[in-house]
């Protein structure tokens, strides 16, 4: 497996020399300064590659992500120019030798959390999704029509109790936390602009969004086949409908539907153990076995779930997912690919969403992407991989 590390370029507090010291060699990044729907120029791609490769034994091995314009998700207007731009960006990346593209099809928001600094028992902080706080946001702050029906009586009562004691700063912090998953330097939504954005999805149900996603795949995957690019969709995070918007990639049935729309190796999956692991119905190692040949990239992290639907980022070898079993499934697939003579036998992975530990705290890194917390995760995963490799040779 190829040890990789997500880097936000000039927006990142963590430097490439620091990343090199972790031992990871693959850099997972994107051109976050380019607006959605615009072409990524070859010159900009090469400039990013040159910055990464400067005497550090690093290389840009995965794009995360090449964003999909909201108009494509909504099926809104003349989409031909947007699809053409997306294909041209793919061609430019392929011309520069970058051939794995992670993307998502989540409406409006990327990953969503309600707490960016939930305390961890032995010190440090973690990302958390509180069902009660999300309910407080939707019902009492956003005042989304129909939101009450999406939450249990108990959660609604907890939400009412929280909002009753919340200060304006508490409310502002909650909004900031929910917006934190949006990548890059783009402006986040405030309450009014989020309501307006949600209005743009009125009448778009799960079937409509699926149809729009199927069109995206039909427009893009043949180009990926021509270019030798591996497209790999990231699961929804959290893996459930939020803000009244349907989600497309939350369980094994969803993944099977997506991969079946274009039955090609280039139509693949980013196996995110944290996103899938937050859904109680998902057996993540089993999902890895089921779709092993279409996994082109892996995010390895762990979560601990609560009965009400809340969850918190756990240490990489703790939480509800059996990480050694998951890693074993990926290593088995690598062995199968080697025996089949596939050039892409090794699967790139990155430690995802680490705890803020020690000097991470207050350092201002992107939420969920501290240095020491992810280094701890990488070291633990490295140990699991080494141990399983030794066992397989014994």
d(CA 101, CA 88): 13
- Which tokens sit at 258? 């997506």
- Give the count of beta carbons closer than 10 Å to the beta carbon of residue 289: 16
d(CA 367, CA 50): 27
* Identified catalytic residue from 272, 296, 355, 360: 272
Q: Where are the domains of the chain?
A: 2-109+203-393, 115-198
* Identified catalytic residue from 115, 236, 352, 360: 352
Q: What is the phi-psi region of residue 330: left when phi exceeds 0, alpha when psi lies from -120 to 50, beta otherwise?
A: alpha
- Pure H helices in 232-313: 252-261, 273-277, 284-290
- Kindly report the pTM of this predicted structure: 0.94
d(CA 303, CA 315): 8
3-state helix, strand, coil in the chain (%, to 5): 45, 15, 40
The tens digit of pLDDT for each residue in 199-231 reads 999 999 999 999 999 999 999 999 999 999 999
Give which of 295, 355, 280 is closest to 329, Cα–Cα. Answer: 295
Tell me if the bond preceding 238 is cis, omega within 30° of 0: yes
d(CA 158, CA 173): 18
The tens digit of pLDDT for each residue in 96-155 reads 999 999 999 999 888 899 999 999 988 999 999 999 999 999 999 999 999 999 999 999
* Identified catalytic residue from 151, 213, 296, 299: 299
> Annotated catalytic, 352?
yes
What is the band of 370 on the pLDDT scale with cuts at 50, 70, 90?
very high
> Annotated catalytic, 234?
yes
Give which of 61, 6, 64 is closest to 31, Cα–Cα. Answer: 64
d(CA 323, CA 62): 22
Q: Which 3 state secondary structure label does DSSP give 145?
A: coil
The CATH number given to 2-109+203-393 is 3.20.20.150
* Identified catalytic residue from 316, 353, 355, 360: 353
Indicate the DSSP class of residue 68.
P
Q: Which residue has the tokens 């972790």?
A: 22
* Identified catalytic residue from 86, 201, 213, 369: 369
pLDDT of residue 187: 61
Give CA torsion, residues 175, 177, 179, 181, to 10 deg: -170
* Identified catalytic residue from 69, 150, 201, 234: 234
Q: Assess contact for 133 and 202: CB atoms under 8 A.
A: no
Distances, alpha carbon 300 to alpha carbons 23, 175, 284, 317, 337, in Å: 17, 27, 11, 10, 20
> Annotated catalytic, 272?
yes
d(CA 48, CA 50): 5
- Exposed / middle / buried, residue 272 (Cβ in 10 Å: 0-12, 13-18, 19+): buried
pLDDT of residue 166: 97
What is the band of 189 on the pLDDT scale with cuts at 50, 70, 90?
confident
> Annotated catalytic, 316?
no
CA–chain centroid gap for 26, Å, is 17
The tens digit of pLDDT for each residue in 281-327 reads 999 999 999 999 999 999 999 999 999 999 999 999 999 999 999 99
Q: Assess contact for 303 and 274: CB atoms under 8 A.
A: yes
The pairing of strands 115-119 and 100-103 is unpaired
For every residue of 180-232, DSSP letters joined together read: TTS-TTPPPP-HHHHHHHHHTTTT--HHHHHHHHHHHHHHHHHHHHHHT-EEE
**How far apart, in Å, do the first and last CA atoms of the chain sit?**
19
pLDDT of residue 392: 45
């Amino acid at each position: 497996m190829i040890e990789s590390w997500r880097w936000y370029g000039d927006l990142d507090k963590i430097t490439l020399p620091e990343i090199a010291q972790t031992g990871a060699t693959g850099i997972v990044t994107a051109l976050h300064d380019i607006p959605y729907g615009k072409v990524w120029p070859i010159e900009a791609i090469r400039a990013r590659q040159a910055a990464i490769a400067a005497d550090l034994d690093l290389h840009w091995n995965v794009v995360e992500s090449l964003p999909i314009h909201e108009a494509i998700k909504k099926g809104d207007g003349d989409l031909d120019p947007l699809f053409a731009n997306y294909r041209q960006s793919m061609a430019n990346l392929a011309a520069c030798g970058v051939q794995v593209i992670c993307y998502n099809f989540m409406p409006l928001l990327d990953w969503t959390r309600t707490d960016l600094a939930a305390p961890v028992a032995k010190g440090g902080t973690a990302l958390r999704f509180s069902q009660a706080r999300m309910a407080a946001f939707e019902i009492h702050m956003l005042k989304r029509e129909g939101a009450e029906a999406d939450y249990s009586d108990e959660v609604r009562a907890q939400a009412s109790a929280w909002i009753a004691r919340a200060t304006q700063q508490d409310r502002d912090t909650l909004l900031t936390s929910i917006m934190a998953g949006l990548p890059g330097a783009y402006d986040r939504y405030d309450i009014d602009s989020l309501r307006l954005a949600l209005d743009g999805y009125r009448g778009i149900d799960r079937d409509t969004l699926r149809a729009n996603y199927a069109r995206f795949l039909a427009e893009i995957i043949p180009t990926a086949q021509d270019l030798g690019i591996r497209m790999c969709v990231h699961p929804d995070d959290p893996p459930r409908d939020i803000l009244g918007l349907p989600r497309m990639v939350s369980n094994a049935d969803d993944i099977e539907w997506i991969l079946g729309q274009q039955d090609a190796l280039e139509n693949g999956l980013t196996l995110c153990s944290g996103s899938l692991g937050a859904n109680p119905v998902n057996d993540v190692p089993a999902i890895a076995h089921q779709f092993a040949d279409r996994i082109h990239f892996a995010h390895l992290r762990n979560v601990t779930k609560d009965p009400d639907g809340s969850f918190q980022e756990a240490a990489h070898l703790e939480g509800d997912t059996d990480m050694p079993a998951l890693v074993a499934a990926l290593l088995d697939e690598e062995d199968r690919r080697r025996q089949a003579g596939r050039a892409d036998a090794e699967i790139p992975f990155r430690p995802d969403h680490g705890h803020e530990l020690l000097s991470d705290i207050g350092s201002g890194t992107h939420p969920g992407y501290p240095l020491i917390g992810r280094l701890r995760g990488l070291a633990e995963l490295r140990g699991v991989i080494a141990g399983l490799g030794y066992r397989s040779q014994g």
